[in-house]
Amino acid sequence: MSNYFLESEMESYKWNRKNLLGIEELTPKEIKKILKLAKFFKKGINGDPIKKDYLKGKRIVNLFMEPSTRTRIAFEIAAKSLNADVISVAEQSSSLTKGETLRDTAMNIQALGADAIVLRHSSPGSPLFLSRLVDVPIVNAGDGAHEHPSQALLDLFTLHERWECLEGKKITILGDILFSRVARSNFWALSKMGAEVTFAGPSTLVPKQFQSMGAKVCYDLREALEDADAVMLLRIQHERQSSSHFPSLSEYTNIFGLNNDRKKWLKEGALILHPGPVNRGVELDSELTDSSQSVILEQVSNGIAVRMAILYLCTNSEYRADK
Amino acid sequence: MMSSITHLKGGRVIDPVNNTDEIKDLFFMDGIIIKTPEKNLESKVKEVNVEGKIVFPGLVDLRTHLRNISGGQAENIKTVTAAAPAGGYTTLLLMPDICPMADNTGTIQYIQDRILKYASIKILLCGCLTKEARGESLAPLGSLKENGVVAISDCPRTTQNNQIFTKGVEYASMFNLPIIELPRDRSLSENWTAHDGPLALKLGLGGFPRIAEELFVQRAISVSKSVGTQIHLSSISTCGSVDMIREAKRKNVKISADVTAHHLSLNESSINDYNPNFKTSPPLREEIDRTALIEGLNDGTIDCICSAHQPFQEHEKNVEFDLTPAGVTGLETALSICYEILIKENEFSWKNLISLMSSNPSTILGQANQQLVSGNWANIAIFDPNLNWNFDEANRISQAINSPFDGRNFTGKIIKTFFKGEEVYGF
């Protein structure tokens, strides 16, 4: 183990959870702890001397049962940056195609000596399900429409770099909220940090019942944009929606797409976020994607430092199962 | 040689059909309830002291599923008829979603054969409304009846096509076959995993909205009115369904309904940590629905309580929440749950509860009611209202493990069940 941290500093990185299953269960203090450690790792990436052996000898298995570019690569780079051994398994290349259940796959991965499993799966709750079956820490890399905690943490990290404090900030999340784990995790993360979250988009994709979680719900794009300090756009996921949720992509673009004209409704300096992949010209004009207000690529690179922090904490947890 | 006589002594006897709720003795011999025997037969009497216990006719379940009737690890006729008496049941209606489906006379005969061989209590058969319960063409209902089927249903599926459903109801009425319908509009509940409400939204689970049930409750009411025949709605779960059925009954529409015991006790909050044993069919709903269901039982809108026993093996049920099959076991716990929720918390009378779980279901199936008077089969259950017990591996008899009440502590338990005078369960 590296001596890079001072002993006293190590104390502040004590982590009492075995898994990272979602943001809903985290306390604001825990969230801040992850962000602080991510900041430290980011300095390392940017050239400060950093010992790289924090995860040396650890086996991290990326079990990705759904397509992913950013998240999978970022987890891989994060683990490799800390000198972990990384094995990535995709559904197509695993025995799941032979009918093996997720449960058996995970038990086998545990038997093969994994120190952490990073799981992306289409079933909501599947990381919790696995965490009950195996002793290995489970990191949720997106479970159906439930949570995507590492995405929300990197979004927080990105906003923190710009703003120092999120208390009282207004964030609008726009688009397909119903099927979005990013929206849910970001809602928990942002509101735990004191920000106010508005969900906006077509009523069929933004059910009013989200209000019971504590979010504001708005169907008027102008109103949703005018107040916002940042707007987070979500990809319209044609693969998940039946045709009953909205008539067509062009109708969506007409009513809810963010373009140069509508950008004027935003406050000066309001930030534009997107978890990717962007459908250019659908939810967001191509020009705006690349504009100075857009922090989309910062989000992506911050994803590495945040995931380094997550992997470090989960594999060095003080957690002991009550036995 | 003279058979022995069983004497159930000093129990509180509940017999809703004969309006009885009193402390009295019961005697039965050769499987039949008899009058107090003559003095000279006293030496033949075997006394069972049931003071402080509740004695009532064996319960009748309107919804028991088995997917396997031959044996092995899965719940089968032998294991389910061992488990059911532990909950006081002596009659089960076996739903048609067996492999192969109960949609043809050959399969019905095969099942009847297995019942004869393995069942320790009475199993009545429900046949499919449509072939393979696909909702595309009618099953041979008349021939099914000739082979002993007593009711018709596609449960746990639901025929979506209105023409086929209406004609099916009309055709079944010719044979006096009751139709049992699990109300669900599939187009509004595709890929459902939970009640469509705030919790499912938070958990990212696909929803089964109330309206998907209620539209089909309305369909059943309209069809019943139009054809003029009885339709029984199975396992209703929403407050809106209760309202619609109440209104229809007020207008004398021939509609009846049941609710599962677990819907009386649990609401959607149970699924908060994605425990597959709380994925029921239909889903557990909100507290307002649960209380409306109890109110519906109280005012006679809902006629019966069923177990909706759907056994699964551990490896089938204990998977990701959206992949786990909907359905839970219930035969062994239904009465203890109802005692707790209805009698203790909501002041239902024992007579009312036993009609909801025994005589009313029999009536809906057109079967003779179980009664505790001489000349009837001695199908009798005995309940100890003060017994503390855990529903755990030590006490569970069913081969299936998928109970939402796994590990739960109850006060009140069936301690003995007799079927045709034979003791089929003893605690």
Give the mean model confidence (pLDDT) for residues A190-195.
98
Amino acid A241: pLDDT: 62
B289 to chain A, closest Cα gap in Å: 17
Looking at the domain assignment, is residue B9 inside a domain?
Answer: yes
Nearest-CB residue to A213 (from B202, B321, B322): B202
Percent of chain B with pLDDT over 70: 99
Q: Which bin fits B393, alpha (ψ -120 to 50), beta or left (φ > 0)? A: alpha
Q: What is the 3-state secondary structure (H, E, C) of chain B?
A: CCCCEEEEEEEEEEEHHHCEEEEEEEEEECCEEECCCCHHHHHHEEEEECCCCEEEECEEEEEECCCCCCCCCCCCHHHHHHHHHHHCEEEEEECCCCCCCCCCHHHHHHHHHHHHHHCCCEEEEEECCEHHHCCCCECCHHHHHHCCEEEEECCCCCCCCHHHHHHHHHHHHHCCCCEEECCCCHHHCCCCCEECCHHHHHHCCCEECHHHHHHHHHHHHHHHHHHCCCEEECCCCCHHHHHHHHHHHHCCCCEEEEEEHHHHHCCHHHHHHCCHHHCCCCCCCCHHHHHHHHHHHHCCCCCEEECCECCCCHHHHCCCCCCCCCCECCCCCHHHHHHHHHHHHCCCCHHHHHHHHHHHHHHHCCCCCCCCCCCCECCEEEEEEEEEEECCCCCCCCCCCCCCCCCCEEEEEEEEEEECCEEEEEC
pLDDT band at residue A7 under the 50/70/90 scheme: very low
A7-148+302-315: what fold?
A: Rossmann fold (3.40.50)
Contact B320 A125 (CB under 8 A): yes
Percent of chain A with pLDDT over 90: 72
Same domain as B106, residue B14: no
Give the Å distances, CA to CA, from A187 to A122, A184, B152, B203, B368.
20, 5, 48, 13, 59
Q: Does B99 touch chain A (CB under 8 A)?
A: no
Q: What is the 3-state secondary structure (H, E, C) of A112-134?
A: CCCCEEEEEECCCCHHHHHHHHC
Give the mean model confidence (pLDDT) for residues A293-304.
94
Q: Is A46 exposed, middle or buried (0-12, 13-18, 19+ CB in 10 A)?
A: exposed
What distance in Å separates the CA atoms of residue B52 and residue B420, rounded to the nearest whole number? 23
Contact B204 A212 (CB under 8 A): no
pLDDT band at residue A245 under the 50/70/90 scheme: confident
Tokens 């508005």 — which residue? A198
Same domain as B258, residue B172: yes
pLDDT band at residue A1 under the 50/70/90 scheme: very low
**Residue among A271, A240, A321 at smallest CA distance from B191:** A240
Give the mean model confidence (pLDDT) for residues A171-199.
97
Looking at the domain assignment, is residue B41 inside a domain?
Answer: yes
- Give the 3-state secondary structure of residue A45: helix
Decide which of B312, B337, B364 is a domain's last residue.
B364
In chain B, whose CA is at the least distance from the CA of A187?
B202
Q: What confidence tens digit (pLDDT) does each residue in A97-156 have?
A: 777 888 888 889 899 899 999 999 999 999 999 999 999 999 999 999 999 999 999 999
Q: In the A/B pair of chains, how many CB contacts fall below 8 A?
A: 61
pLDDT above 60 for A2: no
pLDDT band at residue A23 under the 50/70/90 scheme: very high
pLDDT band at residue A322 under the 50/70/90 scheme: very low
* Residues A248, A254, A260: CA angle, nearest 5 degrees: 140
pLDDT above 80 for A237: no
Decide which of B364, B397, B412 is a domain's last residue.
B364
B206 to chain A, closest Cα gap in Å: 9
Contact B320 A145 (CB under 8 A): no
pLDDT band at residue B13 under the 50/70/90 scheme: very high
Q: How many CA atoms lie within 13 A of B191 on its CB side?
A: 11
Tokens 């036995």 — which residue? A323
Q: Judge whether B92 and B69 are in contact, CB under 8 Å.
A: no
Same domain as B92, residue B23: no
Same domain as B225, residue B86: yes
Give the mean model confidence (pLDDT) for residues A220-237.
94
Looking at the domain assignment, is residue B244 inside a domain?
Answer: yes
Amino acid A242: pLDDT: 61
pLDDT band at residue A320 under the 50/70/90 scheme: low
pLDDT above 80 for A319: no
Looking at the domain assignment, is residue B370 inside a domain?
Answer: no
Which chain A residues have a beta carbon less than 8 Å from that of B201? 178, 207, 209-210, 212-213
Give the mean model confidence (pLDDT) for residues A281-307.
93
Looking at the domain assignment, is residue B399 inside a domain?
Answer: yes
CATH architecture of the domain formed by A149-300: 3-Layer(aba) Sandwich (3.40)
Amino acid A89: pLDDT: 85
Tokens 């037969």 — which residue? B41
pLDDT above 70 for A239: no
What distance in Å separates the CA atoms of residue B220 and residue B155, rounded to the nearest whole number? 14
Range of the domain at B292: 58-364
What distance in Å separates the CA atoms of residue A184 and residue A207, rounded to the nearest whole number? 13
Same domain as B353, residue B395: no
Tokens 């799941």 — which residue? A96
Contact A124 B204 (CB under 8 A): yes
- CATH of residue B132's domain is 3.20.20.140
Q: Which of A122, A126, A177 to mutate to test the interface with B (most CBs of B within 10 A)?
A: A126
Domain locations along chain A = 7-148+302-315, 149-300
Amino acid A240: pLDDT: 60
Ramachandran angles phi, psi of B92, nearest 5°:
-125, 140
Which chain B residues have a beta carbon less than 8 Å from that of A143? 204
Which chain A residues have a beta carbon less than 8 Å from that of B198? 209, 212-213
Give the mean model confidence (pLDDT) for residues B187-202.
94
Decide which of B317, B337, B364 is a domain's last residue.
B364
Same domain as B339, residue B415: no
Q: Judge whether A16 and A282 are in contact, CB under 8 Å.
A: no
What distance in Å separates the CA atoms of residue B231 and residue B139, rounded to the nearest whole number? 17
Nearest-CB residue to B198 (from A144, A145, A212): A212
Distant-in-sequence, close-in-space partners of A108: CB < 8 Å, separation ≥ 6: none
Q: What confidence tens digit (pLDDT) does each residue in A59-81 have?
A: 999 999 988 888 999 999 999 99
pLDDT above 50 for B271: yes
Counting the structural domains of chain B, the total is 2
Q: Does B203 touch chain A (CB under 8 A)?
A: yes
Q: What is the 3-state secondary structure (H, E, C) of A188-241?
A: HHHHHCCCEEEEECCCCCCCHHHHHHCCEEECCHHHHHHCCCEEEECCCCCCCC
- CATH of residue B30's domain is 2.30.40.10
Ramachandran angles phi, psi of B408, nearest 5°:
-80, 150
Same domain as B239, residue B98: yes
Contact B322 A101 (CB under 8 A): no
Amino acid A217: pLDDT: 98
Same domain as B224, residue B82: yes
pLDDT band at residue B2 under the 50/70/90 scheme: low
Which chain A residues have a beta carbon less than 8 Å from that of B273? 125, 128
pLDDT band at residue A323 under the 50/70/90 scheme: very low
Q: What mean pLDDT is reported for chain B?
A: 96
